[in-house]
């Protein structure tokens, strides 16, 4: 048995027994770890509100490799994302993100690049003065990139033409746009139409590293188009992301 100290985001909580909680956490160093927090739901628990969904915590636990569930020894909150808790739309967006993470992360291997993306996105959604939904779009696009399913919006998949068309086809299968001049069979393979506005937004989000992300303005129609294309791309390449429960709660759905 060893004592582990790591940072983590809480992806799921399940009540256990009279006062305890089972937590699914995405840790910075050990991937996904299931933890048992004894007495966490008791009014006088020392954990109090630390073990709530999507809290960013520092946790110490006893690690026994032969056990599926590790016992929590101590917890402190690094960031409770209070603004997310105070706003229904932000809550739904954050829940969609942590559900995606919960499905995508398997086992105890670290996924530092996704962990950092998750923390950065939740902090962005929490602090955004406007358009927190951009955080969700940013996460969807960048999680695809970090898992090897990059989306390229800069040139045509076939002719490599740098395009300036009114409407373009995006090949979900290849993760690239296909211009109108290229053969129709290329455009129609697992394709989705993308307006010029949506294409511009996608390019901005792809190049954004958090800075100015929440200032990217877009029409409601373009926001829907971008979201549905991102979802289609993710679900095409990652089977785990089919039938996500939380998506139907989003305004975009």
Residues at the site binding another protein, with contacts judged by CB under 8 A: 12-13, 17-18, 43-44, 46-50, 52-55, 75-77, 80, 82, 85-88, 91-92, 95-96, 98-99, 245-246, 248-249
- Parallel/antiparallel/unpaired status of strands 167-171 and 191-195: antiparallel
- Helix ranges, 61-132 (H): 82-85, 88-104, 112-127
C-alpha span between 171 and 177 (Å, rounded): 6
Residue 13 CB, nearest distance to another protein (Å)? 8
Nearer to another protein, 12 or 174 (CB): 12
Residue 54 CB, nearest distance to another protein (Å)? 7
Nearer to another protein, 12 or 165 (CB): 12
What is the end-to-end Cα distance of the chain in Å, rounded? 46
**Quick one: which H or E segment has residue 134?**
helix 133-146
The token pair that represents 123 in the structure block: 């902090």
Q: How many residues does the chain have?
A: 253
Nearer to another protein, 17 or 183 (CB): 17
Residue 202 CB, nearest distance to another protein (Å)? 26
Which residue reads 């990652």 in tokens? 238
Nearer to another protein, 2 or 243 (CB): 243
Which residue reads 């770890």 in tokens? 33
Residue 113 CB, nearest distance to another protein (Å)? 24
Nearer to another protein, 69 or 217 (CB): 69
Residue 151 CB, nearest distance to another protein (Å)? 26
Q: Rounded to the nearest 5 degrees, what angle is found at the Cα of 60, between the Cα atoms of 59 and 66?
A: 115
């Amino acid at each position: 048995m060893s004592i582990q100290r790591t940072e983590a985001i809480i992806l799921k909580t399940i009540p256990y027994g009279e006062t305890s909680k089972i937590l699914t956490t995405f840790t910075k160093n050990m991937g996904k770890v299931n933890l048992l927090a004894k007495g966490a739901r008791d009014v006088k628990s020392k954990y109090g509100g630390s073990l709530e969904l999507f809290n960013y915590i520092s946790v110490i636990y006893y690690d026994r490799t032969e056990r599926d569930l590790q016992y929590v020894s101590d917890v402190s909150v690094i960031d409770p994302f209070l603004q997310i808790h105070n706003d229904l739309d932000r809550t739904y967006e954050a829940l969609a993100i942590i559900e995606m993470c919960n499905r995508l992360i398997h086992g105890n291997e670290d996924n530092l690049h996704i962990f950092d993306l998750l923390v950065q996105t939740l902090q962005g959604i929490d602090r955004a003065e406007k358009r927190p939904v951009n955080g969700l779009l940013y996460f969807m696009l960048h999680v695809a990139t970090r898992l090897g399913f990059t989306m390229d919006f800069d040139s045509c998949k076939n002719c490599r033409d740098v395009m300036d068309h009114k409407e373009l086809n995006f090949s979900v299968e290849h993760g690239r746009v296909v211009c109108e001049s290229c053969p129709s069979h290329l455009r129609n393979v697992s394709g989705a139409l993308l307006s010029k506005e949506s294409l511009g937004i996608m390019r901005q989000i792809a190049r954004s590293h958090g800075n100015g992300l929440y200032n990217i303005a877009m029409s409601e129609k373009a926001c829907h188009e971008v979201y549905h294309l991102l979802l289609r791309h993710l679900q095409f390449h990652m089977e785990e992301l089919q039938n996500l429960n939380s998506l139907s709660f989003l305004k975009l759905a």
